[in-house]
Structure 1
Amino acid sequence: MLVNLGCGQEKGARLTFWQFWPSEIITPIITEFEKANPGVKVEMQQLTWQNGFEKIVAAVSSGTQPDLCELGSTWVPRFAADGVLSDITSEVKDLRESYLFWDSCTLDGKIYGIPWVAGTRVLFYNKRLFERAGLDPEIPPRTWEELIDCADRIHALGKDVYGFGMNAGERYILYKKFMPFAWGSGGDILSDDLAHSVFSSKENVDALHFYCSLRDVSLMEKQDVLDMAFKQGKLGLQISGGWNLRTIPSDVPELEFGVALVPKRALDRGFHASFAGSEVLVTFVKSKHKREALKLARFLISKGNVISLCRSAKSVQPALKGAENDPYYESHPLERVFVIQLGTAVPPPPHPSWVEIEEAINTAIEEAIYEIRSPEDALAEADRKIERIVSRADG
Structure 2
Amino acid sequence: MKKELVVLCTVILIVGLFSGVINAKEEITVWVGGHIVAQEDLWEDIISNFEEQEGVRVDYQLIGFDVYFDRLVVAFKAGQGPDVTFADLGGWVPTFAANGWLEPMDNQLANWNGTNEIWENLWPTVEYKGHKYGLPWYTDCRLLLYNKKMFRKAGLDPSKPPKTWDELLNYAQILTDQGNRVYGYGVSGKKTEVSTLGYIMFLFANNGKLLNDDYSQAAFNTSEGIKALKFYTDLYKKYKVSPSNTLAYGEDEYRNMMAQNKVAMAIGGPWSFPLIEKANPDIKDEYAVALHPYNTKPASVFGGWASVISKQSKNKGLAWKFIKYITSYEVWDMWIKRSGGPLPARRDVAEDSPVFKDSKWQVVLQTFPTAGFRPPIPEYPEVSNVIQTMIQNVLLGKQTAKEAIALAEIEVNYILSK
TM-score band w.r.t. shorter chain: 0.7 to 0.9
Encode CA deviations 1:92-111: one digit per residue, 9 max, x unaligned: 35725623522221122221
Corresponding residue to 1:236 among 255, 259, 264: 264
Structure 2 counterpart of 1:69: 85
- 2:368 and 2:311 mapped to 1: Cα distance? 31
Asked if the contact 2:191/2:392 (under 8 Å) is kept, the reply is no
Largest Rg, 1 or 2: 2
Of 296, 304, 308, 2:330 maps to 304
Match of 1:259 in 2: 288
Residue 177, structure 1, aligned to residue 198, structure 2? yes
Distance in 2, matches of 1:173 and 1:324, equals: 25
Identify if the C-alpha distance between structure 1 residues 128 and 62 changes in structure 2 by more than 3 Å, giving closer, same or farther: closer
Corresponding residue for residue 99 of structure 2: 82
- Cα offset, 1:314, TM superposition: 6.0
CA distance in 1: counterparts of 2:84 and 2:62, whole angstroms: 13
For the Cα contact (< 8 Å) 1:264–1:270, is it kept in 2?
no
The count of residues paired between Structure 1 and Structure 2 equals 379
AA at the equivalent of 2:86: E
- The structural deviation recorded for 1:362 is 1.4
Specify the alignment match of 1:285 in structure 2. Answer: 311
SS of 1:163 mapped into structure 2 = strand
CA distance in 2, matches of 1:308, 1:368: 45
Aligned-partner SS, 1:116: strand
Residue ranges of structure 2 left out of the alignment (5+ in a row) = 1-20
Partner of residue 273, structure 1: 300
Q: Which residue of 2 aligns with 1:4?
A: none
Structural mapping, 1:327-346, within 5 Å: 327-330=353-356, 332-334=358-360, 337-338=363-364, 341-346=367-372
Deviation at 1:315? 6.8
> How far is the alpha carbon of 1:349 from its aligned partner?
2.0
Verify the 8 A CA contact 2:162 2:293 in the aligned structure 1. Answer: no
* TM-score normalised by length of structure 2: 0.75
Q: Alpha carbon RMSD of aligned pairs, Å?
A: 3.6
Q: CA deviation at 1:360?
A: 1.3
Q: CA–CA distance in 2 between the matches of 1:178 and 1:303? A: 35
Give 2:345's aligned residue.
319
Q: 2 CA distance for matches of 1:323 and 1:380?
A: 45
Counterpart amino acid of residue 263 in structure 1: H
State the distance in 2 between where 1:371 and 1:52 align: 29
The answer (yes or no) to whether the contact 1:175–1:361 under 8 Å persists in 2 is: yes
Paired residue type of 1:77: P
Q: How does 1:33-52 map to 2 (within 5 A)?
A: 33=50, 41-49=56-64
List gaps (5 residues or longer) in structure 1: 1-8
Secondary structure at the counterpart of residue 203 of structure 1 = helix
Equivalent residue for 2:14?
Answer: none
After superposition, give the CA deviation of every residue in 1:52-85 in whole Å (9 maximum; x if it has no partner). Answer: 5566556545655554333334432232111232
Name the structure 2 match of 1:192. Answer: 213
Which whole-Å CA distance do the structure 2 matches of 1:161 and 1:308 have between them?
A: 37
Instruction: Kindly state the Cα deviation for residue 191 of structure 1 after the two structures are TM-superposed.
Output: 2.5
1:15 CA displacement: 5.1
Greater share of strand residues, 1 or 2?
A: 1
* Pair 89,171 (structure 1): closer, same or farther in 2 beyond 3 Å: closer
Letter in 1 for 2:378: P
How much does 1:390 deviate? 1.2
TM-score by length of 1: 0.79
**CA separation in 2, counterparts of 1:35 and 1:217?**
54
Letter in 2 for 1:350: P
Residue type of the alignment partner of 2:327: I
CA–CA separation in structure 1 for the residues paired with 2:256 and 2:81: 39
Tell me, what secondary structure is at the counterpart of 2:265? strand
Inter-partner Cα distance in structure 1 for 2:273 and 2:326:
25
Aligned partner of 2:131: which letter? K
Give the CA deviation at 1:18. Answer: 0.9
Instruction: Give the distance between the partners of 1:375 and 1:250, measured in 2 at CA.
Output: 35
Alpha-carbon contact 1:171-1:363 (below 8 Å) kept: no
Give a deviation string over 1:197-255, Cα, whole Å, max 9, x none. Answer: 21213332232233244330512332465445433434332223534643446536168
User: After the TM superposition, which of the residue ranges 363-372 and 55-64 deviates more from structure 2?
Assistant: 55-64
CA deviation string 1:177-201 (max 9, x = no partner)? 2211212333232233322221213
> Does the aligned pair in 1 maintain the 2:260–2:280 contact within 8 Å?
no
- Check the 8 A contact 1:147/1:263 in 2, yes or no: no
Structure 1 residue 136: Cα displacement: 1.7
1:308: how far off?
3.1
What residue is the counterpart of 1:115 in the other structure?
A: 136
Q: Give the structure 1 partner of residue 228 of structure 2.
A: 207
SS across alignment from 1:193: coil
Q: How far off its partner does 1:322 sit?
A: 6.0
Residues 265 and 323 of structure 1: CA distance in aligned 2, closer, same or farther (over 3 Å): farther
Give the whole-Å Cα distance in 2 for the aligned partners of 1:371 and 1:60. 37
CA distance in 1: counterparts of 2:76 and 2:182, whole angstroms = 50
Return the letter of the residue paired with 2:384. Answer: E
SS across alignment from 1:117:
strand
Deviations 1:4-30 (A, max 9, x none): xxxxx9599935141325663234334
Cα distance in structure 2, aligned partners of 1:316 and 1:328:
14
Contact 1:69 1:282 in 2 (8 A): yes
CA 1:134–1:98 in 2, change beyond 3 Å: closer, same or farther?
same
More helix by percentage: 2
Q: Quote the Cα distance in structure 2 between the aligned partners of 1:186 and 1:362.
A: 20
CA contact (8 A) 1:117 1:306 kept: no
Whichever residue aligns with residue 384 of structure 1, its letter is I
Change (3 A) 1:377 1:307: farther
